[in-house]
Structure 1
Amino acid sequence: MFKISNLCLVAFLLIVWGFQTLDDHSDWPEYNGDGARNHYSPLTQINKANVAHLKVAWSYASGGADTLQNRTQMQCNPIIIDGILYGVSANTQAFAIDAATGKQRWKTDFTDNGGTTSRGVTYWADGLDKRIFFGAGKWLYALEANTGKLIESFGNNGKIDLKIGIERPGADNYVVSNTPNTIYKNLLITGTRVSESETALLGDIRAYDTRTGKLVWTFHTIPQKGEPGHETWSPQNPRQRIGGANNWMGMAIDRERGILYAPTGSAAHDFYGANRKGNNLYANCLLALDAATGKRLWHYQLVHHDIWDRDPPAPPNLLTITRQGPGGRPQKIDVVAQVTKQGFTFVFDRVTGKPIFPIKETPFPQEAAVGEQPSHTQPIPQLPVPFTRQSFTEKDINPWASNRDSLKVMIRKARTGTPYIPLTEKMTVFFPGTDGGAQWGGAAADPEGILYVPAKENPVHMTLIRRNKETKNTKESNNSYRLYCSACHGLDRKGNHDGSYPSLLQLEKRLSKAQVNKLLMTGRGMMPSFSHISVAERNSIIAFLYNNTTDKQVATTQKEVIPYQHTGYNRWYDSEGYTVSTPPWGTLTAIDLNTGKHRWQVPLGEYPELTKRGIVPTGTDNYGGPLVTASGLIFIAASRDEKFRVLDKDTGKILWEHPLPAGGYASPSTYAVNGKQYVVIACGGGKLKTKSGDKYVTFALP
């Protein structure tokens, strides 16, 4: 009897604690888990019954955090292969550590990498030849996976200069591979981030040989003469005049079919397009390309002639849904789903590109800045149901905002209330804000066809101002600063409220002129390099920032300067520093792609001081993605309150939460080593006026 009881107890504990042996699913081998980019794991050891017992297993200090100005970030989704975790530090160095202990194996020490925030690395292997591909600055490095040493037979002594091949007249030097590349057989397929002004480089998608670094194919996201899509640009020869239309957000890959799914960004300049009349293919598209050759199979343009920076913010998801087929019978369909900054989800048949749900070309306002010709219509999915609200008007002002009356006055003078309002010299409101809606963390998906999307709803206002017109701030500004810096840091140099673009006032107390000149040459984080402008222009900017001159006569070196600039990404807060719209301000939504309907939506994050006032959790601004597991759990950090949470994927109910050493503005990974499941999150902070950090924190059951 005693022996039977013990056996029953052991059986019960094995069920509760999710006993699990190593299997083929122990690794997290790619960005967001696999080529489908679904942030999904079949591991089940951590489950609803035991998740409350999660503890910190180990943490790793990656180094390089800016703890003085809090400007560094970590957006890395680490990969784990054969018990080794590969990631990127706060100062953009690649590293390898033991995934069970956090003990470092190797770490790079590149001094010329540009210091750009990275979302992770890419792994490729052929027998004993195991490689890590790592993008930093304009360089794409090939490293030995076991040692971290450069593979000198790849490219030029172990690295590729990504600027080569995407130059055009008048372009700057800013190009970054900030999102992990995509592997197809022996090809390394890359997109890049380029600047968003009229000096942007071209946004071509390219594939390189994984062994040699030799360029294999290129897809022109801005077509050249004779290529399909060239007719959607006017005047002609857009590749000589226009940049952007780049894949900065990453791609998904269906390796069985050999199809690459690549979203593309806006053409530059982001907010004024009179010099690029037409729909502007293949900007703002979801492209389906033959992964072996780069040949276009199909495309769908998500925004025509984008003048709102409404490019898709994340890789698409590849999943299978069930729909009613002929005769009313259930039919399995392999689909590709793309979430957007506007809060829409576009769903297509993965092979044909046919929309699964109706998409309606919908008219929008046409009043625009001088010379601008907006598209008369934009494609609006009728399903799935949007995961954010679609308008912000006077009735949507936060009811307990302390300066509600003055906010009403502002909004009555603004252009608002509908998506896709062209910018003019009158204040225009973006809702959701300029960076989402959905953001670069993207969505998770499970085998049931459910999409889990973190999003935010923060009104942003913006205005176009003429570059050749004196403004009331002219005495405080000069021509070079206005042209290159004011769109982000403001004409008054105050930056924006949440610190995404810092104040440049009293800069002399933080940085020397030599340090500022170095930043202008190399760029850092969100800031592009300005090495392409003249020495006189850089000196003029530096002199102005240090209050030595207000010279407005320095000539610019650009080949083409558009007549407008925007007034910056002005996130709209009330006098207490809270978002002016009615909550929720951050959400997590479960969307059933089988029906197009929501299963649930909950606030993501909270302000403890508001909760103490009796206000239900509002959600917060957020960056980073979710992780969903076969045990029915969603793991997500992302929120401004610096917490890591686990939710029930069936209900959205919070099952567990834990404070982090800094904001987890990244996507978590899960893996198993020696039969033990771990979950890891990069805690880099540095956004939304929160402190920077350098730790990777890993959780497991005791």
Structure 2
Amino acid sequence: MNVIRLSALLLSLHGCLRADAGRDWAGYLGGEDRSNFSTLAEITTENVHRLNVAWTYRSGEFKPDMRKQIQCNPLVIDGVLYGTTALQKLVAVDAATGRERWRFDPHTEGRSKMGDVRHRGLACWTNGRDRRLILAHDRYLYALNLETGKLVRAFGDQGMIDFKDGLATDEMVLNSGTPGVVFGNLYILPTRTSESHGSAAPGHIRAFDLETGRLVWTFHTIPQPGEYGYETWPPDAWKSFGGANCWAGMTLDKERGLVFVPTGSAAYDFWGGNRRGENLFSNSLICLDARTGKRVWHYQIVRHDIWDRDLPAPPNLVTVRRDGRDIPAVTQTTKSGHVFVFNRETGEPLFPIDERPAPASDIPGEFTWPTQPLPRLPAPFSRQTLAYDDLTTLTPEAHRAVVDRFARLRQHAPTGTPNYGGPVATAGGLVFIASTPDEMIRAFDRKTGRILWQSKLPAAGYATPATYVAGDRQHLVVACGGGKLGTKSDDVYVAFALPQ
């Protein structure tokens, strides 16, 4: 019998957390394990309906005609919230009152070659003498004093480094909006690249020394001569091809010193005739030694991608119980709705994966890989086929048929709108999520999927919420930037709490 459960490895950042770490939200998505989980339980299924707005914060810079977004999952450390605004400023805000303490302007507005950077979060690190915020923004990595917001001048070039340094040409396009992971004194950085052939930078994974800013190691996601996977590309592809990058974020197993990196497609996304081969390490889950950057194992989930099937989310660390034995595992979700499950240490699939024949392209000059891997278990959470007989007009009978299918699921919550953001689960038995264009935030019963509470936001919350304790109350906060899926933009953080 196989049972998958969340791992108890709720790993802390290096020295940034206190003994009562559960009171803070001190890592992106809750920590380096990207669990989206909090041990807080003051807000429960019994009292969540009493949540009210505790405070709101606006930067004061936003204008109604601006088309901006906020996708930031903020940090909360020692009663202070750290997040970014719609105009890409980093602000420190009292987490109990919403009062601003300081702000930092990276001066990158309008400078990125990829348009507005969608900044998603921060990291925190300490060397035992001072605590630093790590901001990867556009093509720059900044180190700031946690208490003052001032640049740490001993880091890199007066507090910052340009992580395009070392690329073949300055014209290559990349930035970083999703935070990396902190392991000891290392910051392991993901990047976002262009999706066009010729301008896309390679999606190398790099680790920087957080004391000095020095580059410590590099893993080439487009292999160079003598490296594993070089033969899966045309000769010297590393000189001209880009992409195969990690934009979704990575996950750290601190105990084992392993970092799990999900990558996207090579550029150009929708044409592969000029890059024949499997194209390692695009569309792969890569396990790296966090200390050295050496490959431990990998699994390519899409062979020679020409459909933009990037791996879209950080992996999850889980434990699989099999025949009475616990196996440390890592799971990777995909755009197709499949879930791949691997032994964390060896990369062995824990459920059978079939290499199935795939149709060839009929586009002249195009190249497709003859097979694609599909896992037998777990079952995909989205439909995998669409036939003519599946099409229907919107009638009461058709609606009843859809509702009947939903009723067969263990959990479902038909909000009627797509999601563009992540959830937070708590020990209070709740799952909180905004992310919908109807500008609502909702609380679901974690066991039944029933909506227990919802509240209208100033704008759509296309970001993952955070939960923390400040002023002796558990709070829930979400960035409300809107600006996507046809919704209005704004520049506001909203925090909720139970009445005092």
Same fold flag (TM > 0.5): yes
Partners of 2:457 and 2:362 in 1: how far apart?
Answer: 45
Higher helix share: 1
For these two proteins, the number of residue pairs brought into alignment is 468
Q: Deviations over 1:626-669 (max 9, x none)?
A: 11111210000111111000001101000001000000110011
Aligned to 1:157: 158
Against the structure 1 CA distance between its residues 179 and 274, is the aligned structure 2 distance closer, same or farther, given a 3 Å change threshold?
A: same
Distance between the aligned counterparts of 1:77 and 1:62, measured in 2? 16
Q: CA contact under 8 A between 1:313 and 1:340: conserved in structure 2? A: yes
Deviation (angstroms), 1:397: 3.7
Pairing partner for 2:44 from 44, 47, 71: 47
Task: Work out the CA distance in 2 between the residues paired with 1:291 and 1:676.
Answer: 37
- What is the identity, as a one-letter code, of the residue corresponding to 1:152? R
Instruction: Report the CA distance between 1:314 and its aligned residue.
Output: 1.2
Name the CA shift for 1:164/1:333 in 2 (closer, same or farther; >3 Å). same
Q: Counterpart in 1 of 2:204? A: 204
TM-aligned CA deviation for residue 74 of structure 1: 0.6
Partner amino acid for 1:26?
Answer: R
Which runs of 5 or more residues in structure 1 are unaligned?
1-21, 402-581, 590-596, 606-618
Structure 1 Cα separation of the partners of residues 209 and 363 of structure 2: 45
> 1:602 Cα deviation (Å)?
2.8
Q: Residues 470-503 of structure 1, C-alpha deviation per residue, up to 9 Å, x if partnerless?
A: xxxxxxxxxxxxxxxxxxxxxxxxxxxxxxxxxx
What percentage of aligned pairs have identical amino acids? 50
Structure 1 residues 42 and 598: CA distance shift in structure 2, 3 A: farther
Check the 8 A contact 1:181/1:190 in 2, yes or no: yes
How far the C-alpha of 1:674 sits from its partner, in A, is 4.1
Partners of 1:285 and 1:167 lie apart in 2 by: 24
Report the CA distance between 1:128 and its aligned residue: 3.3
Which residue pairs with 1:609 in the alignment?
none
Q: Does 1:90 align with 2:91?
A: no
Tell me the residue number matched to 2:384. 390
Change (3 A) 1:74 1:389: same
Superposed CA deviations along residues 2-41 of structure 1, whole A, max 9, x for unmatched, are xxxxxxxxxxxxxxxxxxxx93311111110011101001
Q: Does 1:334 align with 2:361?
A: no
Corresponding residue number in structure 2 for 1:521: none
Letter in 2 for 1:200: A
Q: Does residue 307 of structure 1 match 2:306?
A: yes
Asked whether the equivalents of residues 127 and 211 of structure 2 are also in contact (C-alpha less than 8 Å), the reply is no
Deviations 1:172-218 (A, max 9, x none): 34211100121000001101101000021111000000011000000
Name the structure 2 match of 1:599.
410
Please report how far the alpha carbon of residue 372 of structure 1 lies from its aligned counterpart in structure 2 after TM superposition.
1.5
The structure-2 alpha-carbon separation of the partners of 1:341 and 1:62, relative to structure 1 and needing over 3 Å to count, comes to farther
Deviation at 1:305, TM superposition (A): 0.1
What's the secondary structure of 1:268's corresponding residue? coil
Which whole-Å deviations, capped at 9, do the CAs of 1:196-248 have from their partners, x for residues lacking one? 000211110000000110000000000001111001112x0111121010111
What are the Cα deviations for residues 659-700 of structure 1, in whole angstroms up to 9, with x where unaligned? Answer: 000001100111112431111111110000100011111111
- Counterpart amino acid of 1:83? G
Q: Write the letter of the residue equivalent to 1:669.
A: A
* Shift, 1:600, TM fit: 2.2
Q: Which residue of 1 aligns with 2:229?
A: 229
Quick check: 171-180 or 41-50, which moved more? 171-180
Say if 2:144 and 2:150, in contact at 8 Å, map to a contact too: yes
How big is each residue's C-alpha offset from its partner over 1:276-320, in whole Å with a ceiling of 9 and x where there is no partner? Answer: 101000111001000000000000001000000101111111122
Q: State the match for 1:667 in structure 2.
A: 464
Query: For residues 537-595 of structure 1, what are the alpha-carbon distances to aligned partners after superposition, in whole Å with 9 as ceiling and x for unaligned?
Result: xxxxxxxxxxxxxxxxxxxxxxxxxxxxxxxxxxxxxxxxxxxxx979xx9x9xxxxxx
CA shift for structure 1 position 64: 4.3
Q: Is the aligned partner of 1:59 residue 2:53?
A: no
- Alignment-derived partner of residue 274 in structure 1: 273
Q: 1:347 aligns with which of 341, 348, 358?
A: 341
Q: Which residue of 1 aligns with 2:8?
A: none
TM-score by length of 1: 0.65
Q: Does the C-alpha gap of structure 1 residues 352 and 667 become closer, same or farther in structure 2, counting only changes over 3 Å?
A: same
Aligned to 1:23: 20
Contact 2:413–2:451 (CA under 8 A) maintained in structure 1: no
Give 1:214's aligned amino acid. R
Instruction: Quote the offset at 1:66 in angstroms.
Output: 5.2
RMSD: 1.9
* Residue 256 (structure 1) aligns with: 255
1:240-291 CA deviation, whole Å, 9 max, x = no partner?
1210101111110011110000111110000001111010001110010000
> Which residue does 1:656 correspond to in 2?
453
Q: What amino acid is aligned across from residue 360 of structure 2 in structure 1?
A: Q
Alignment of 1:146-185 (within 5 A): 146-167=147-168, 172-185=171-184
Q: Distance in 1 between matches of 2:206 and 2:20?
A: 34
Q: Hey, what does 1:550 align to over in structure 2?
A: none
Give the aligned residue type for 1:599. Answer: R
Q: Give the Cα–Cα distance (whole angstroms) in 2 for the partners of residues 172 and 248 of structure 1.
A: 19
**Aligned partner of residue 644 in structure 1, secondary structure:** strand
Is 1:216 the equivalent of 2:216? yes
- Cα distance in 2 for partners of 1:66, 1:685 equals 13
